[in-house]
Amino acid sequence: MYTLYYSPGTASMVVHLALLEIGAPYRLIKVDFEREEQRTPAYLALNPQGVVPTLIVDGRARVESAALLLLLAERHPQAGLAPPTGDPHRDEWYQWVVFLSNSLAATYRNWFYPRDLGSAEHPPLVRAALQGRIEAVWDRVDAHLARSGPYLLGADFSGADLLLTMLMRWSRNMPRTALDWPQLRRLADLVRARPSWRKLYELEELTEW
Lowest mean pLDDT among 41-50, 53-62, 103-112, 184-193: 103-112
pLDDT at 116: 76
Q: In angstroms, rounded to a whole number, what is the distance separating the alpha carbons of residues 108 and 113?
A: 8
Span 113-169, pLDDT tens digits: 888 777 778 889 999 999 999 999 999 999 999 999 999 999 999 999 999 999 999
pLDDT attached to residue 130: 95
- Report whether 98 contacts 92 (CB < 8 A): no
Element (DSSP H or E) covering residue 118:
none
89-194 folds as Glutathione S-transferase Yfyf (Class Pi); Chain A, domain 2 (1.20.1050)
Contact assessment for residue 205 and residue 8, using Cβ atoms and an 8 Å cutoff: yes
Same fold, 2-80+196-204 and 89-194: no
Please, what CATH class does the domain formed by 2-80+196-204 belong to?
alpha beta
Question: How many other C-beta atoms can be found within 10 angstroms of the C-beta atom of residue 131?
Answer: 17
Residue % of the chain over a pLDDT of 90: 93
Full-model pTM = 0.95
Every domain of the chain and the residues it spans: 2-80+196-204, 89-194
Cα–Cα distances in Å, from 74 out to 79, 106, 197?
10, 24, 21
